[in-house]
Structure 1
Amino acid sequence: MNKNKTFKILLVVISILVVYKIVDYYVTDKVDAYLKTQPLSYDAVSVNLLLGNITLKNVTSVKDSLQFTTEKLEIEDVSYYQYLKNKSVSVGNLKMLNSKITGKLISKETKKEDSTSQSKKASLDLKIDNIQFENIEIDIIKNDNFPLTVQNISFEMNGFELDDIQNKTIPFLYDHIEVSISNFETQFSKVQKVKFSKLNFEKDNLTLDSLEILPLKSREEYIYHVSQEKELMTLFSEKVVISDIIIEEKEKLHVSVNHVLFDEVFFNLYLDGTVLEHPNIRKDLYSKSLRDLPFNIDVKNVDIKNSKIVYEEYIIENNKPGILIFDKLQAQISNINNSSDKATKLTTAKIQSNFMEHCPLDIEWTFDINNKNDNFRITGSLFDVNSKNMSSFLLPTMNVKMDGYIDKMYFDFEGNDFASNGKLNLDFKNFNIKVLEKDKTKNKVLSWLANLFIKDSSKNGIVKVETENVERDTTKSFWNFFWINVQKGLQNSLI
């Protein structure tokens, strides 16, 4: 190769490099000018025209009362070919590192757009092969004026494709997603907050570690910080596992789950009923609440293991709270499905527990979510209930003490949203009722009258009774309705 030819080649290479640098500088300047028209600021921008990469450092964006900052934002492998040919934006990788969201969420009224405006709305054709957000911290005030904090969120999504042309609930498609959240905490009322230590979502499976609902006020104070009578909750679950989650959008959003596990749950409900009146607000049965969800749900199986529920009512001032304890609780629930075309109609819950720590309790409860009368059936058995177990709730809440022993109790109740009928079979021994004065001394006259009306057959032996047209108090829960049925059966068996 002669010197002249070598010089020409070198000249061409230098010319290409010069042109490239000029174009690269020009494109960088244009990108910088465009970004400055957007609601964000940054310390530096760099563009690699050859590779299609854009990098921003120390980015800040403010919208309304929220501020977003990130140490580095990288956009890699932008396809010029797709943009020139199809006017679509195709990106290889989008990365963000060490980001933080602070400020306050402000709720805004959403205005419905008519079909004409929807058709005129331009749709952005955007595809991103891989999205990675590492180390996102959140410290905001929600639109209910309560705080929400997250120590760390890491997020990765593959095969992202924007799909906003049909105004869907989820306006994008994806192939795979992974999320990790550490130390989430938010307040949801003046008296309660919820937190968890770790959330992992990977391969359509979600795991929650150390889920907690905690009181922010004491039992003595909380009732003065709520607008209506309600329970104070304390919950701790060692682990929650949700398997095989599928989210689809057909006519409306459809959420399908193969299995849910709650392991080692402690749930305490405390009600102070001495200050506020019971609210005259309707409480729907579970079937109606599930039927009226704004999306379709299909949960095939739920397991609750190694758990404990404690319910306490403070009804009479200066008395101790009445208490009901269900420990060693295991439950299996199947077919939580509100689709009208489901193959299996009935939702079934089977529950095993020790009532008051010593009395074996078994329950089978079935209902059809799509039955608009909210028909249900609940059957079961309870064994070995002594006077201490019976009086632990009745004595503090009604000043009534029961002596005796329930060897066996079998129940079978059928009902709907309005009323119920059922059967109760009991085996009593040495049954006696004591009605106490406010100072806890025995009211001999009322106790004598109460025992006078107790059937002789109920003091010892087996009693079989039926309950008819037990009316439901629609301001109270399903479990209150169940208890009213048991209570009615006891009254019919005793008096």
Structure 2
Amino acid sequence: MQVTKSFYKKFLVVISIIAIILFGLNFYAKNKIDKVIQQKIAEKGFEYSGDISVNVLFGNVDIKNIELSKDSLKLKSDEISVNDFSYYSFLVNDKISIGEVEVSSSSIEGKLLKKASKKTSKKDTVQHKKEEIFIKSIALNKLNVSVIDEDLHPIKISNINLEIKDFDLSKDGNKKLPFSYDNIFVEIDNFYKKTSEVQAIKFKTFKLENDDIVIDSLQIVPLKSRKSYIYHVDYEKELLDLVVKQIKVSDFKIEEEPSLSFTVNHILVDNVFFDLYLNGAVLESSKKIKYLYSKNLRDLPFNIDVKSLDIKNSKLIYEEQTKKNHKPGILVFDELNAQIKNINNNESKKEKLTVVDIKTKFMDSSPLKIKWTFNINNKNDDFRISGSLFNVNSKNMSSFILPAFNVKMDGYINEMFFDFEGNNSVSNGKLNLDFKNFSIKILDEQKKKKKFLSWLANLFVKDTSKHGMVKTKVEKLERDKTKSFWNYFWKNIEKGLQKSLI
């Protein structure tokens, strides 16, 4: 009996000592964790508050009612739970090793301020101590975002969920991506961002799961009417209205060796409606140089390699108003399908050419095929574009020319074949045209025929019933570098048509 009492006394003493040690370790760990958090957050210019509880025995840390703020930007979270925290690594080796981190019910609100340009000094070039952080699993649940960007445009996201496995963060200045991971899942709902005074972009859902991305219901929406938008921009530009049913990105990878690169096996863009409207009657066009696609891709600050991109079941409308109180000219491309292969700006690539194949119907009735090739890494921006167009009636020919230039065309184009080669400065090529019963009517402002001018113009119109297919050459056509590639392409067609018809 005496032995039993002695045993209990010793047991209680041991338990008390363990409790005191655990209490002391909890107190020490809590203070150190709180100090480290405060220090790290202060280094970034944030203010922080939160209630920390620590359980050394089970390796758990809970931080509740978190608030982070910097200037007018504020992050709030109900709770951050950390499980399987290695206190030995943290307290002794100054390394962070965690089994699981879960962040619940968070929000980010406020305003993003413009970053001041920072001059590099000797202080900035000092190598900081490398930090080692490994987290087996990260879960971010129900993050809502409502912020104003640097240009006073709102960004809103109703729901972000994130899961990452085997997250390894390394503060290594030599790495462009200072972290790695094994598996990742990101889901974003109801994204909205105002991009300018006249446009906004939004989508219903975004999902990234490991190497695949799916975006549903992507839209670029106009915020102003067609009549008023031009008074809210600095120079002549199009008003966009875009709806994409779905975008699928397959086998997406980010690599760092030998340099930062993004590779994608396949992108599918399904069911696109794209309407571009230009009011060209109010402002002057921009004098800013527009580079060709090859240069824009070549000058990206990273390598990109997209094996193939498919655009399916789509429709493109271009409308341009050239005079006040006139209807816009219109071009419609229905049943548009395109395939682009080898979008690759790596200089060591084996296949040099990017190849674009387009099939569509012009104005819902005339089959149009285009093949376009260019070498992204060719500094002259050489390209070749060829194709064919069949069965164009006078109504479709006049749909753009009549409202824009008060010129009506009657007749029928049976066949048109074109083949142009060029670079950033000049292009050459050929256009072959077979047409019949062609006539031109020049109209006044009331859309009435100017008989003499129309008669004079028709004196010079050729007749392929006598001459057969008309073959013409387009030589040394200079590019207007303030216009797009497609304007350049149209100028070649326009020049060829002029020489064919007159």
Regarding TM over 0.5, the answer is: yes
Indicate how the Cα distance of structure 1 residues 370 and 458 shifts in structure 2: closer, same or farther if over 3 A, else same.
farther
Q: Give 1:75 shift.
A: 1.9
Structure 2 CA distance for aligned equivalents of residues 131 and 179 of structure 1: 11
2:83 counterpart residue number: 76
- Alignment counterpart, residue 322 of structure 2, candidates 309, 315, 321: 315
Structure 2 CA distance for aligned equivalents of residues 41 and 321 of structure 1: 57
Indicate the larger mover: 156-165 or 199-208.
Answer: 156-165
Indicate the larger mover: 348-357 or 104-113.
Answer: 104-113
1:473 counterpart residue number: 480
Structure 2 CA distance for aligned equivalents of residues 472 and 30 of structure 1: 66
* 1:161–1:173 CA contact under 8 A, matched in 2: yes
- Alignment counterpart, residue 126 of structure 1, candidates 118, 121, 133: 133
Structure 2 residue matching 1:445: 3-state secondary structure = helix
Identical positions, percent: 51
Structure 2 residue matching 1:118: 3-state secondary structure = coil
Q: Give 1:18 shift.
A: 3.6
Structure 1 residue matching 2:225: 3-state secondary structure = coil
1:394 counterpart residue number: 401
Q: Give 1:32 shift.
A: 4.9
Deviations 1:283-309 (A, max 9, x none): 111111111111111111000000000
Indicate how the Cα distance of structure 1 residues 354 and 82 shifts in structure 2: closer, same or farther if over 3 A, else same.
same
2:243 counterpart residue number: 236
2:222 counterpart residue number: 215
1:455 counterpart residue number: 462
Indicate the larger mover: 8-17 or 351-360.
Answer: 8-17
Structure 1 CA distance for aligned equivalents of residues 147 and 476 of structure 2: 52
Structure 2 CA distance for aligned equivalents of residues 203 and 30 of structure 1: 36
Letter in 2 for 1:66: L
- Alignment counterpart, residue 285 of structure 1, candidates 279, 286, 292: 292
2:17 counterpart residue number: 15
Stretches of structure 2 that go unaligned for 5 or more consecutive residues are none
Q: Does 1:100 align with 2:125?
A: no
Deviations 1:39-79 (A, max 9, x none): 55546321101122111111111012210000001122221
* 1:429–1:459 CA contact under 8 A, matched in 2: no
Q: Give 1:253 shift.
A: 2.1
Letter in 1 for 2:359: Q
* 1:427–1:460 CA contact under 8 A, matched in 2: no
Indicate the larger mover: 180-189 or 1-10.
Answer: 1-10
Structure 2 residue matching 1:218: 3-state secondary structure = coil
- Alignment counterpart, residue 144 of structure 2, candidates 124, 137, 141: 137
* 2:338–2:358 CA contact under 8 A, matched in 1: yes
* 2:384–2:421 CA contact under 8 A, matched in 1: yes
Structure 1 CA distance for aligned equivalents of residues 100 and 38 of structure 2: 23
Letter in 1 for 2:15: V
2:74 counterpart residue number: 67
Q: Does 1:441 align with 2:443?
A: no
* 1:428–1:459 CA contact under 8 A, matched in 2: no
* 1:160–1:172 CA contact under 8 A, matched in 2: yes
Letter in 2 for 1:16: I
Indicate the larger mover: 231-240 or 272-281.
Answer: 272-281
Structure 2 residue matching 1:448: 3-state secondary structure = helix
Indicate how the Cα distance of structure 1 residues 317 and 28 shifts in structure 2: closer, same or farther if over 3 A, else same.
closer
* 1:415–1:421 CA contact under 8 A, matched in 2: yes
Q: Give 1:251 shift.
A: 5.1
2:7 counterpart residue number: 5
* 1:433–1:451 CA contact under 8 A, matched in 2: yes
TM-score (norm 1): 0.96
1:344 counterpart residue number: 351
Indicate how the Cα distance of structure 1 residues 34 and 250 shifts in structure 2: closer, same or farther if over 3 A, else same.
closer
* 1:152–1:182 CA contact under 8 A, matched in 2: yes
* 1:458–1:494 CA contact under 8 A, matched in 2: no
Structure 1 CA distance for aligned equivalents of residues 136 and 370 of structure 2: 51
Indicate the larger mover: 347-356 or 485-494.
Answer: 485-494
Structure 2 CA distance for aligned equivalents of residues 85 and 43 of structure 1: 25
Q: Give 1:459 shift.
A: 7.6
Indicate the larger mover: 33-42 or 357-366.
Answer: 33-42
* 1:457–1:463 CA contact under 8 A, matched in 2: yes
Q: Does 1:191 align with 2:213?
A: no
Q: Does 1:366 align with 2:366?
A: no
Q: Give 1:85 shift.
A: 5.5
Structure 2 CA distance for aligned equivalents of residues 260 and 459 of structure 1: 49
Letter in 2 for 1:286: Y
Letter in 2 for 1:228: Y
Structure 1 CA distance for aligned equivalents of residues 230 and 186 of structure 2: 38
Structure 2 CA distance for aligned equivalents of residues 15 and 82 of structure 1: 23
2:340 counterpart residue number: 333
Deviations 1:215-264 (A, max 9, x none): 00000000000000000000000000111111122354211111111000
Deviations 1:92-145 (A, max 9, x none): 222110000000001213435457743442332222121111000000000111
1:494 counterpart residue number: 501
* 1:429–1:460 CA contact under 8 A, matched in 2: no
Structure 1 CA distance for aligned equivalents of residues 352 and 127 of structure 2: 44
Structure 2 residue matching 1:245: 3-state secondary structure = strand
Structure 2 CA distance for aligned equivalents of residues 245 and 115 of structure 1: 38
Indicate the larger mover: 341-350 or 173-182.
Answer: 173-182
Structure 2 residue matching 1:344: 3-state secondary structure = coil
* 2:437–2:463 CA contact under 8 A, matched in 1: no
Indicate the larger mover: 439-448 or 157-166.
Answer: 157-166
Letter in 1 for 2:19: L
Q: Does 1:262 align with 2:254?
A: no
Structure 1 CA distance for aligned equivalents of residues 292 and 465 of structure 2: 33
Stretches of structure 1 that go unaligned for 5 or more consecutive residues are none
Indicate the larger mover: 278-287 or 77-86.
Answer: 77-86
Indicate the larger mover: 82-91 or 453-462.
Answer: 453-462
* 1:428–1:460 CA contact under 8 A, matched in 2: no
Letter in 2 for 1:469: K
Letter in 2 for 1:297: I
1:276 counterpart residue number: 283
Structure 1 CA distance for aligned equivalents of residues 414 and 32 of structure 2: 85
Letter in 2 for 1:157: I
Structural RMSD (CA): 1.9
Letter in 1 for 2:155: L
Indicate how the Cα distance of structure 1 residues 119 and 459 shifts in structure 2: closer, same or farther if over 3 A, else same.
farther
1:91 counterpart residue number: 98
